[in-house]
Amino acid sequence: MTISPTGATPEYEQYLRRLPKVELHCHVEGTLRPGTVVELAAKHGIALPTTQVDEVYRYSTIYEFLEIYRTVNSTVIDREDFARIAYETLQDGVELGNLKYREMFFNPTLHTARGIPMATVIDGLIEGAKAAETDFGVRCAFIADVYRQDPPPVARQMVEEVLAHRRPELIGLGMDAAEAPDPPEKFVEAYRVAKAAGLRLTSHCAEDGPAANVTTCLDLLGCERLDHGYHILEDPAVVARCRDEGVTFTVCPTSTAVVYGWPDLTTHPITKMIDAGLRVMLNSDDPTMFHTDIGTEYAKFCGQNNFRPELVRQLVVQGVEAAWLDDIDKAAMRRAFETEIDELDREYVS
Ligand code: HPA
Ligand code: ZN
């Protein structure tokens, strides 16, 4: 079958789903299957607001969303549970979007604050990821995230605890939660400790904060890439700098369409970032919570924007290039991706 990629036809959506993918912005805590939440709640005797699987992720405000985020994660308790959620989300990525490699965020203090040992969290997640690699061939590394509403000493202590339980699969430090009230400079100490220990650095930034946070994250925290970044568009000088330096932004169409009210993906800030020459790559952020997956992100965003296959290939490759893999590994992944995309182009693109 051949298609002309002129819109979100079913064939083009299938092509977009089948492209090989890297994902660099996905929070394991936002990936739990609703059925798994219900089962884990039953296993541990935890009461949920609902045990109806299709009601678990029903919310109408960001506050309800954050409440559900905390509630569903309260069901993840032992090492086996952490392994299960890592395994299942990687399986979902493979089956729904041909995911090949993910660098996945987790929020250590979301778990340690409720008494879960750091070793249970880290060892469980890695165990699940290794099982997924064995069963599906997908690879995964992990990034510990500072939770911005934690006080800076708690964030620094989190980094030290993560370093005390360091495993080769744990490669970086990031930062999430609400940006506007807690700007990046608060966490310079946590980033300094992480950098000194050789962790790679990223941060959610200019998501609901100003473009100035981009500069802070690059220059003060030492970030190598940035998550989201939409408000950079408000400062042309920062845009020009990031374009010239080739900074990669890990962007998330659906989650931000929902949270920030940019439902039209053809006018979403991501399209303007691409037009401005910024390097972006696509991600699902909190896929099950936002009723999406990595395949759907490509299908919706690239389909609705009527992107030519050459541009979509560029977005995919930018994901590979921004991954924190060594150069040999990255070059091999890029070659394998190009070959697979060539085959898909022969099958689909007229
Ligand atoms: N932004 C802020 N906090 C978050 C996000 C995000 O994209 N995902 C999960 N927690
Ligand atoms: Zn995020």
Read off the pLDDT of residues 163-176 as tens digits, 9 standing for 90 and up: 999 999 999 999 99
**Ion ligand 2, residues whose Cβ is below 5 A away:** 285
Using most ligand atoms within 8 A of CB, pick from 285, 288, 290, 292 the residue to mutate for ligand 1. Answer: 285
- pLDDT of 10 > 80? The answer is yes
Cα dihedral 77, 80, 83, 87, rounded to 10, equals -120
Q: Is 313 in the pocket of ligand 1 (CB under 6 A)?
A: no
321 is a catalytic site residue: no
CA of 33 to the centre of ligand 2 (A): 18
Find the helix or strand (DSSP H, E) in which 103 lies: strand 99-106
pLDDT tens digits, 21-62: 999 999 999 999 999 999 999 999 999 989 898 899 998 877
Rounded distance from Cα 176 to ligand 2 centre (Å): 6
* Closest ligand 1 atom to 25 CA: 7
pLDDT for the residue 2: 56
Let me know: does 56 contact 290? Beta carbons within 8 Å: no
Q: Summarize pLDDT for 235-267 with one digit per residue, the tens.
A: 999 999 999 999 999 999 999 998 888 999 999
pLDDT for the residue 7: 59
- Please, are residues 97 and 293 in contact by the beta-carbon 8 Å criterion? yes
145 within ligand 1 shell (Cβ under 6 A): no
Nearest ligand, CA of residue 260?
1
Helix axis angle for 10-18 and 294-304, nearest 10°, is 130
Spatial separation of the C-alpha atoms in residues 280 and 22, rounded to whole Å = 12
CB of 13 closer than 6 angstroms to any ligand 1 atom? no
In the chain the domains, ranked by start, together with CATH numbers, are: 10-32+76-348 (3.20.20.140)
